[in-house]
Every structure is written in structure tokens, then in C-alpha cells.
Amino acid sequence: MSDIVVIGAGQAGASLVARLRNLGHTGAISLIGEEPVLPYQRPPLSKKYLLGEMELERLYLRPRSFYEENGIALLTSYTAVSIDRSGKQVVVDDRQISYDQLAICTGSIPRHLPQAIGGGLAGVHVVRTLADVDAMAPGFTQGRRVLIVGGGYIGLEAAAVAALGGMHVTLVEMSGRILQRVACPETSEYFRKLHQGHGVDIREQCGLQHLTGDDKTRVTGAVLTDGTELPADMVIVGIGVTPATELAAQAGLEIQNGIKTDARGRTSDPSIWAAGDCASFPYRGERIRLESVGNAIDQAEIVAEDMLGAGTDYVAKPWFWSDQYDCKLQIAGLNAGYTHVVTRRVGEAVSFWYYAGDKLLAVDAMNDPRAYMIGKRLIETGKSPDPSEVADAGADLKPLLRA
């Protein structure tokens, strides 16, 4: 039995080692993570955990006993420094760990504001790790002023938590509209209204020029690109992530918008696989990278199976969710290349269906789990309903699944 090492103890790494044991692998398994805690769920960090509605213990993906009982060496607070591919060893701080097979699940790294415009000031936060969120959470108190830079899902979720906590929230988005990179104008409008209804000051087509600081140590405010000066007690930066490819690149693995893998998660080295946010993979004739829990789990499980020789190709079924105030957004599919959007409204529930010509690509469903689930199944099976049926609030869409 081979010795398997997994670098990165996030969702992908944790799912991968669990799957290996579940499939009956009896060789050694080491899981190496930089953070000082058990592998945990990241999505609640910008939602229930930040709201104070979910305690730390509930974030853990598995209890410590799981790793002990399954003979998984969990090395938390350890950093993989380099990979010696010819010697098949991972250099981890002060030691080397030998592998027969290696998986890289290093995730992604949040973009920071440049130091030159105040990115290094105290009170400026990113949202990625438990430590990031623990650092900002004490500042979430009523009446304080928070500036959120970036109108993507992370920024909007943080804005919702701040607004619910009675903070004064301003959100700036450099592009024409919030969610521009990931959603249609209809979805942007829905969330703009939702946030404005909770008192969030959303400023689109407005970037950050620079932050101002008290003695250049702690943030006190911001100057926006339209010249506005705003006071701020804290700043949250949600301007996207980059795949954590440094270790793989140093080891000479092929990088192409992430660590380049084939459909089974294999990198350019036959003994090394990659999964999760850090990996790019073939999808419908293109190469994509997904930043989502669903992808981290599914791709990691494909890698585990392939490592043990029973590989199947990964067919990604993209899905995502976001919680803001009382709205649950569920997204099925990928909307890239859509030509038009069909709206379905049933009572308070709204969903936007993205089409490229006659082909259904994706669904954004707001408080409409039926639309989400039906859309997801239709997309996965390559079916595209007639837009007039989708738009008909009186029509039950479920029969479409059997069509």
C-alpha cells in the first residue's frame, strides 16, 4: 500500500483523506495544514459564524477522533515548504515526509489591497481563514462604521452581517454593478435592493483611491475614486482570490489558471494530484477553476478514487449558495456565455434562468429551492425547458425533469 501525503487541510484535503479510508486504503495518510485548527467549513465564516450564531466546534468538518480512529496523521500548524519530486518528499518546516502519492489542496489566497494605498493598516481585513474572521469579529459592534471594498459574494455577506449588527455600512464596487463578474444585472439589482433596504450604502462604479490612517498605523477612513472622503473604523476587503499555486510552481508542475490537472485530477507529474480551489480542470471543452465547497468535495473524491486506481473522470456539477439577511441564494450551473435571462416569480420567490440561445446554462434562485433543484437537475442532464414555461408562475416545473 502506498503512502499518501495531502498538502492543505481545507475542505478538499479533508474530503480527500476521508474518501481514501472509506475506499479501504490502508497505507499511511498525512494531512498537512498551516492553520492551527482541525479542518473546518469556510462558508459560515462570512455568515453564521461572523453573526455569532455558530460556535467554533460546529465548524469542524470532523471531530479529532475521526483522524485518530482512521490513522490519519493530521499535521496542523505545519507549512509545506517545498516538494522534492525526484526524491518524493515534502519538506515540512523542520522535517521531510516521504510520499508515494501526493495531493495538493492548497486552496486560494485572498487578494489584499496594496500597501501603498493603505492595505497594511490595522483594521483592514480579508475574509478567508478562521483567524481572519476572529480578528474582525470584535469590531462588529453597533454604531461603528465599516467600509467594504468589493461587491462580490464575500463582500455582500460581510455587509449583511455588519448591517444586521447595527453598523453603518458602505460598500464600494469598482465595476458598473455589484456581482458583475458572476451574475446577471437582474441578480445584481435584487441584492442591491435587499442591501439598500437594510441601510447599506452601495456605491457602484466607485473604487477606493486610498485609505487614510491614524499615524499611519490604524485605518480611520478612505478616499474614493470620485473624491468622496469617508470615515471608517474598519475595512473589509473582498476583491477575489488567486489560486495557491506557488508550491506547485516551484516544484515545476504545469500551471494554467491554477495547478493544471486532467479530468482525474492528475497534474503533470504522475505521482501528484490536485483538487479544490487551486486546481484547474477540463470542463465542456474548456479549462476552468471553481471556488466552491461542492467542487472541493467532488474533485477531491475523484482524486482519492484515482489514486487508488479506480479512477473516473470528474464531471463538475457546479453549485453555490449565499446567505444574506433572510435571503438564501442558490446557484446551479455556470452562466458564462449567456445571451439572455428568463425571470420566474412565484410569490416572494424569484429565480433568474440563464440561457445561451435555447440552452439552459444556470439558475440563480432567491428563496426558491424548487427552482434551484429543478434547474440543477435539468442542467446536469442537459435539458433546456421552454422559457415560456419557466416564466409561467402557475406552471409546476417538476414534470420537466421527466420530459
Footprint of other proteins (CB under 8 A): 22, 41, 43-44, 47, 58, 61-63, 65-66, 69, 293-294, 297, 319, 321, 323, 328, 330, 367, 369-370, 373-374, 377, 398
- Looking at residue 226, what DSSP letter applies? T
Least distance in Å: CB of 93 to other proteins?
29
Least distance in Å: CB of 58 to other proteins?
6
Q: Which residues of 284-312 are buried (b: 16+ CB within 10 A; e: fewer)?
A: eeeebbbbbbebbbbbbbbbbbbbbeebe
| Identity of the residue, 278 or 366, whose beta carbon is nearer to other proteins in the bound complex | 366
| Share of the chain residues as helix, strand and coil, in percent rounded to the nearest 5 | 25, 30, 40
| Identity of the residue, 55 or 215, whose beta carbon is nearer to other proteins in the bound complex | 55
Least distance in Å: CB of 370 to other proteins?
5
Least distance in Å: CB of 62 to other proteins?
7
Max Cα-Cα span within the chain: 67
Angle between helices 11-22 and 293-307 (to 10 degrees): 40
| Identity of the residue, 47 or 168, whose beta carbon is nearer to other proteins in the bound complex | 47
Question: Strand 108-110 vs strand 241-243: parallel, antiparallel, or unpaired?
Answer: antiparallel
Least distance in Å: CB of 178 to other proteins?
21
Task: Match 482525474 to its residue by C-alpha cell.
Answer: 264
Q: How many CA atoms lie within 13 A of 326 on its CB side?
A: 4
Phi (first) and psi of residue 303, to 5 degrees: -65, -45
| Identity of the residue, 173 or 323, whose beta carbon is nearer to other proteins in the bound complex | 323
| Identity of the residue, 119 or 385, whose beta carbon is nearer to other proteins in the bound complex | 385
Least distance in Å: CB of 227 to other proteins?
40
Least distance in Å: CB of 231 to other proteins?
34
| Identity of the residue, 233 or 323, whose beta carbon is nearer to other proteins in the bound complex | 323
| Identity of the residue, 212 or 367, whose beta carbon is nearer to other proteins in the bound complex | 367
Tell me if 105 sits within 8 A of 261, measured CB to CB: no
Q: Which residues of 222-254 are buried (b: 16+ CB within 10 A; e: fewer)?
A: bbbeeeeebebbbbbbbbebebbbebbeebebe
Tell me if 133 sits within 8 A of 49, measured CB to CB: yes
Please tell me the distance from the alpha carbon of residue 102 to that of residue 296, in angstroms, as a whole number.
Answer: 16
